[in-house]
Structure 1
């Protein structure tokens, strides 16, 4: 798998993991749409391969990956609206050409909530909760089917890998010890985990991934090994963890190296041959 999304990099705030959304050549159109309907949002950089942008100040990446993969409801993005976002207006905009999984309304877990799959296939969970964090867009991993009882296992797995990480919220199912919902802080980055006892026709796939920028080779080696244990390693820094969720483990300066006018093409050629990424071979390609 070609890690095209890794060709661009974000400045680090803590570690600043960020989501990568897979599109069939609609990344620029989708990013333009999102930055037009969300406040505090902007395009940071565009290329034919990928677009990096901010939604409510939170970094995200759109990848023109082609038709191989599609995003699924197993990976969605909570929008903690608070008073900063008009949830009714945002719901109406996202619903145009899309569909409502949960129509906007009052639910036991929120006074105002909706789940929408937009016209590009991206899943958003809109919540009136303001969340006490500068991060207003929070990725959510939904554990279903054979994974339905593994949300707690996944939470402990991720907390054990990322240093200085904490459990923020933990809510079990009413009739079992399995987790219904949890929120964790992974080195300053919030991620939600949910589970469903119903049978679904979707699961995790590379249509949604999380990118882990690394300071040096030791960090790449560590996160590559730990996140991939019990899972599958792929090309260009991509891997699937033991739960099937996709991650990209990349050097934080990769964008600088592949855009170098003298060495950039050689760095890209080297990247395409790798599984785990080598900083030396990317920074000084032969």
Structure 2
């Protein structure tokens, strides 16, 4: 690769390898691209990976910094089955938030978003968009059928 490139770096306290392997197994078309060992110590220092075509660096930087929900990875999915599967897998050992957000066991925040929510929110009908927004705000995991029902009024 030549020229500038861009990727997001996430800081972990020793779990970068496990997190990378977990996400690569859960997200189709994902893979670890490079792994850099710690020099003079056991384990991995950092990894370059691609999650569904987006590039990341996972750094085992130590306990100085923590991940927060101020930054999250947003995944758009087509079906409720896909939403449920990814939500349930990432939530193991993590914590559910509102509006389709969760923090997984590694401290990474995720937004699990059905594409239908985006379509429903892009309506030119303000009343429909308001109903969909209100329905979404009352949800933890997003429910496509309930969002579509809210859109219909």
> Is TM (by shorter chain) over 0.5?
yes
Matches within 5 A, 1:1-286: 83=3, 130=4, 136-143=5-12, 148-197=13-62, 199-200=63-64, 202-260=65-123, 261=125, 262-285=127-150, 286=153
Per the TM alignment, residue 189 of structure 1 is displaced from its structure 2 partner at its CA by 2.0
Between the aligned partners of 2:53 and 2:61, the Cα distance in structure 1 is 27
Q: Residue 141 of structure 1 contacts residue 193 of structure 1 at CA under 8 Å; is this kept in 2?
A: yes
Q: What runs of 5+ residues in structure 2 fail to find an aligned partner?
A: none
The answer on whether the counterparts of 1:150 and 1:178 sit within 8 Å (CA) in structure 2 is no
For residues 41 and 23 of structure 2, what CA distance do their matches in structure 1 show? 22
The RMSD of aligned alpha carbons is 1.8
Q: Which secondary structure state, in structure 2, belongs to the residue aligned with residue 149 of structure 1? A: coil
Deviation at 1:241, TM superposition (A): 0.6
Q: Distance in 2 between matches of 1:277 and 1:138?
A: 28
Q: Is the partner of 2:25 in helix, strand or coil?
A: helix
Deviation above 4 Å: which 4+ runs of structure 1? none
Distance in 1 separating the partners of 2:43 and 2:104: 20
8 Å CA contact 2:74–2:111 kept in 1: the answer is yes
Q: Within 1, Cα distance between the matches of 2:133 and 2:139? A: 10
Query: CA separation in 2, counterparts of 1:247 and 1:218?
Result: 17
| 1:176 Cα deviation after fit | 2.6
C-alpha deviation, 1:161, in angstroms: 0.9
Whole-angstrom CA distance in 1 between matches of 2:122 and 2:55: 30
Distance 1:215 1:223 in 2: 12
Query: Hey, what's the Cα distance between the residues in 1 that align with 2:70 and 2:8?
Result: 13
| CA distance in 1 between partners of 2:37 and 2:57 (Å) | 14
Partners of 2:116 and 2:144 within 8 A in 1: no
CA deviations on 1:162-211 (whole Å, 9 max, x unpaired) are 123221100111123322110112222222101124x51x3110111110
